[in-house]
Chain A
Amino acid sequence: MTTEGPRFSEGTLAEYRALLTRYPQRRAALMPTLWLAQREFGWLSLPVMEYVATLMELPLAWVTSVASFYTMYWKEPKGRWHIQLCRNLPCALRGAGAIQVAVERRLGIGDGERTADGRFSLEEVECLASCGTAPVLQVNNTEYHENLTVARALELIERLASP
């Protein structure tokens, strides 16, 4: 394997090896491995996908094809904080539209865009499966913010914006 370019850390490599034991064929471990890669490198650039293909000994076409199918595999860099706004019906009925307008205005970017300083990116997503606490947004892959109002959403943005 080349010494240049992306490489998993020792810890992630250990996770990868553990993953392999869970599947009868290596190809089946591709999706969780891409997930590890996205966590490790932030997004799935072509060099990252090439690394995964080499690591897993799979054709590059299989790797890039799978990555292209799912929107949750990021094929372009996202912000430090990736804001995912639910755009489905229950959230919409509870005011998600106004929240989206406010957040977009505050950040100066729209759906699928990233701020120039790389701090924020925005993405409209389908139901986040928390309709009971609509409207909802998700930050990165870790935080849910529920029962939002425009004010609370903007407060959140300010908090994330401060270094």
Chain B
Amino acid sequence: MCLVDIEKSPKLQIACNTRVADGMVVHTTSEKTKAAQRAVLEFLLVNHPIDCPVCDQAGECKLQEYYMDYDRQRSRIPLPEKVHKKKAKPIGPLVILDQERCILCSRCVRFVDEVTHTSELAFYQRGDHVELDLAPGKVLDNPYSGNVVDICPVGTLTNRDFRFRARVWYLERTPSVCGACANGCNIEIYHREGRIFRFQPRKNSDVNQYWMCDAGRMSYRDLQGEGRLLNPFVRRGSEFVRATWESALGQVAGRLGDLARTHGPGAVGIIVSAQAANEEVFLLRRLAARLEARLAGIAWSPPDADHDDFLIKGDKNPNTRGLALQGLTSDAGEILTAAARGDLRALVLHRVDVTRWCDEIAARAALERVPCLVVLDGQQRETVEYADAVLPIASYAESEGTFTNHAGRVQRFQAAVVPPGEARPGWQVLGGLLALLTGEAAPPSAEMAFQALARESAAFRGLSYATLGETGAPAPLVS
């Protein structure tokens, strides 16, 4: 496809391996080049089954695009005379192979040789019969296997999870950041009518290059599964009743304000996890200051969490570094102990699963003892059973904000879909509480909350959504 017509050169030359010279005149659209491009495409399509109507790659297939741009002729090989190969052969947990559609570009082979160094894929046979395959009995099961689907230009390697669930031209894309570990791989969220269909990596040379891990790729399912909190609830006597946002926020702010006033500094405890965005952490700090509350952060990961020396981090939280940069200490345990002792009048849990992430007995003792428990979360958790108020908040796919990755890079995510039910972005809920407690105006957007953070905190100084752009920037204080 890269054949070009160079003046004074008798034959067409390949552009990718011809040195530019003084006075060289190159034609890329002459009749001669066009004929060559048509011929190359015809050659690529000699044995291609042209099954676009049932191919999941249609709409994002390079071969389809180049055919429309450069070829547009009927095949001279009738379908029954083409060399047929295996179709729809699952080759691993995430990838399915259709050998007939392969154009033998070897991108996937190079990926497993040069990026993952696992070398599962190779070409077999020769001539017309060459096919991409694995060694007998092997499977494509490495932690990054999904990337071969993204780099395959055609429908040879497709994603078993995404396949046939949507035509790509119906999907919208929103730039975001994977929240499944501290690496913060840049991604695109593909969605339609409020549903997320897939995550795909988005290029960022400083973070993930072109790749993402399979666990991160599949983590979109955690964001829209069962068990989301949909409505604000407050406890009235022994009953848990649905409330409007206005009344729930009013009651929570009133109660927290009263308790803080009556019992003085340290009467309220706030625990926030590293699942929260920088903006949320910032607003929680303001809230803590207003209530003279104790504030602690927590970054929990399963003890056997995967990690490697490429992208996957053992810290499964997207914003551990962000908590640290805002000076949060990790003494959540002390707050729980104080609550269990009866030294705490109110406890606010922001995206924290204390019964799973902290010492369970201490956590249950604290939840039982504390007179007022406010849970801000997206997920239904055991903490909800003890709560006096539940405020449902949006996931990172449903709101705006920033995470600070393991290396101290601050990166934006944007709302791809609307939150389920009545859930609201965390920054908005916290901003509302703060406004009720202080009488000051709530930040009108996540961006404004970030601006306030950047003004106040040396660690974020000088940053703004504009300077972060789509690929983020290092926090100034990161050494």
Name the B residues within 8 Å of A60 (CB-CB). 135, 138
Number of interface residues of A (CB under 8 A): 10
Contact residues, B102-125 vs A (CB, 8 A): 118-125
What's the Cα separation between A1 and B9 when bound, in Å? Answer: 57
What's the Cα separation between A61 and B123 when bound, in Å? Answer: 9
**Contact at B136–A64, with CB atoms within 8 Å?**
yes
Name the A residues within 8 Å of B124 (CB-CB). 64-65, 68-69
Name the B residues within 8 Å of A59 (CB-CB). 118-120, 122, 135
State the Cβ distance, B145 to closest chain A Cβ, in Å: 14
**Contact at A62–B119, with CB atoms within 8 Å?**
yes
**Contact at A61–B126, with CB atoms within 8 Å?**
no
Q: Cβ of A156 < 8 Å from any Cβ of B? A: no
Q: Cβ of B415 < 8 Å from any Cβ of A? A: no
What's the Cα separation between A5 and B118 when bound, in Å? Answer: 24
What's the Cα separation between A46 and B136 when bound, in Å? Answer: 8
State the Cβ distance, A52 to closest chain B Cβ, in Å: 12
Of B125, B126, B134, B135, chain A has the most CB atoms within 10 Å of the CB of B135
Contact residues, A31-81 vs B (CB, 8 A): 46, 59-65, 68-69
Number of interface residues of B (CB under 8 A): 14
State the Cβ distance, A49 to closest chain B Cβ, in Å: 8
Residue on A nearest B119 in the bound complex, by CB? A59
**Contact at A64–B135, with CB atoms within 8 Å?**
yes
**Contact at B125–A61, with CB atoms within 8 Å?**
no
Residue on A nearest B130 in the bound complex, by CB? A69
What's the Cα separation between A85 and B228 when bound, in Å? Answer: 72
Contact residues, B260-310 vs A (CB, 8 A): none
Name the B residues within 8 Å of A61 (CB-CB). 119-122, 134-135, 138
Residue on A nearest B123 in the bound complex, by CB? A65
Q: Pick the contact of A69 from B125, B135, B137 — CB < 8 Å? A: B125
State the Cβ distance, A28 to closest chain B Cβ, in Å: 15
**Contact at B119–A68, with CB atoms within 8 Å?**
no
Q: Pick the contact of B126 from A46, A62, A64, A69 — CB < 8 Å? A: A69
State the Cβ distance, B231 to closest chain A Cβ, in Å: 53
Name the A residues within 8 Å of B125 (CB-CB). 68-69
Residue on B nearest A71 in the bound complex, by CB? B126
What's the Cα separation between A60 and B122 when bound, in Å? Answer: 10
Contact residues, A99-126 vs B (CB, 8 A): none
What's the Cα separation between A71 and B120 when bound, in Å? Answer: 23
Residue on A nearest B127 in the bound complex, by CB? A69
Of A46, A61, A69, chain B has the most CB atoms within 10 Å of the CB of A61
What's the Cα separation between A139 and B136 when bound, in Å? Answer: 30
State the Cβ distance, A30 to closest chain B Cβ, in Å: 12
Name the A residues within 8 Å of B123 (CB-CB). 65
State the Cβ distance, B112 to closest chain A Cβ, in Å: 8
Name the A residues within 8 Å of B135 (CB-CB). 59-61, 63-65
State the Cβ distance, A74 to closest chain B Cβ, in Å: 15
**Contact at B136–A65, with CB atoms within 8 Å?**
no
Contact residues, B430-465 vs A (CB, 8 A): none
State the Cβ distance, A58 to closest chain B Cβ, in Å: 8
State the Cβ distance, A73 to closest chain B Cβ, in Å: 12
State the Cβ distance, B168 to closest chain A Cβ, in Å: 30
Residue on B nearest A63 in the bound complex, by CB? B135
State the Cβ distance, B120 to closest chain A Cβ, in Å: 6
Q: CB-defined interface of B120-154 with A at 8 Å, one 1/0 digit per residue?
A: 11111110000000111110000000000000000
Residue on B nearest A58 in the bound complex, by CB? B119
State the Cβ distance, A80 to closest chain B Cβ, in Å: 26
Name the B residues within 8 Å of A63 (CB-CB). 135
Residue on A nearest B134 in the bound complex, by CB? A61
Name the B residues within 8 Å of A68 (CB-CB). 124-126
**Contact at A62–B136, with CB atoms within 8 Å?**
no
Q: CB-defined interface of B458-475 with A at 8 Å, one 1/0 digit per residue?
A: 000000000000000000
State the Cβ distance, B137 to closest chain A Cβ, in Å: 8
State the Cβ distance, A137 to closest chain B Cβ, in Å: 24
Q: 8 additional contacts, CB 8 Å, given A63-B135, A64-B135?
A: A46-B136, A46-B137, A59-B119, A59-B120, A61-B138, A65-B135, A68-B125, A69-B126
The 7 closest A-B pairs by CB, nearest first: A59-B119, A65-B122, A61-B122, A60-B135, A68-B124, A61-B135, A64-B135
30 A-B residue contacts at CB 8 Å? A46-B136, A46-B137, A59-B118, A59-B119, A59-B120, A59-B122, A59-B135, A60-B135, A60-B138, A61-B119, A61-B120, A61-B121, A61-B122, A61-B134, A61-B135, A62-B119, A63-B135, A64-B124, A64-B135, A64-B136, A65-B122, A65-B123, A65-B124, A65-B135, A68-B124, A68-B125, A68-B126, A69-B124, A69-B125, A69-B126
